[in-house]
Amino acid sequence: MPDYNWFEGIPFRAIRFKKEIIEEIHNNFVMRDEDTVIVTYPKSGTHWLIEIVCLIQTKGNPKWIQSVPIWERSPWIDTQSGYSILINKEGPRLITSHLPLHLFPKSFFSSKAKILYLIRNPRDVLVSSYFFWGKTNLIKNPESLRTYFEWFLKGNGTTGDWKNHLTVAQAEAFDKVVQEKMAGFPPELFP
């Protein structure tokens, strides 16, 4: 897949993610106790959550949101431009990331930084990302939703498969809920 850079067995879209930056973030980025990190799988409502948190931080005053671009208010730690902003940013930082937990900055685990993790139904993520990427020329577009569905199941998303963001216990709990909710549907509907 030429549209991807691989790191730790996970494909990242080459248009946005660089292996060297992800490795630098994982090993050397210093997470501060006062940092807040928004973590999502791509196309899960990330921008909505950033806007909500920014409004909470300003007690509902929209001036900051209206005057400062979203990528400056909550830079993406996993991109070159976001990383450059964050390492020089003073005070409490609002950080955004699509990185799975095992690639997160090591310093997070010894800090008091807070994480807001947003999860969305994988079916909705699939449909949203299919239509989003289909409107761009940034990557190879699938010829159909079925093809994209196959890519999605193989983990060829922006940051690997959807479950990479979950711990083993969370993934098992999720599987149990899905199995309960899918009981009664024909098995061939969800191979």
Kindly list the domain boundaries of the chain, sorted by start residue. 14-118, 122-186
Residues 6+ apart with CB under 8 A from 41: 98, 119, 120, 125, 157, 158, 159, 162, 165
SS3 62: coil
What CA–CA distance (Å, rounded) separates 71 from 82? 7
Q: Would you state the pLDDT for residue 17?
A: 75
178 CB contacts (<8 Å, ≥6 apart)? none
- Contact between 41 and 162 under an 8 Å Cβ cutoff? The reply is yes
What class does CATH assign to 14-118? alpha beta
Which residues have a catalytic role annotated?
98
What are residue 40's DSSP bridge partners?
118
pLDDT of residue 1: 45
Q: Please state the pTM of the whole predicted model.
A: 0.79
Q: What amino acid is encoded at 5 in this protein? A: N
Phi-psi region of 91 (alpha: psi -120 to 50; beta: other; left: phi over 0): left
Tens-level pLDDT at each residue, the chain (191 residues): 457 777 777 777 777 777 888 889 999 999 999 999 999 888 889 999 999 999 999 999 999 999 999 999 999 998 888 999 999 999 899 999 988 888 889 999 899 999 898 888 888 888 888 888 777 776 677 788 888 888 877 776 566 666 666 667 777 776 787 778 778 877 776 55
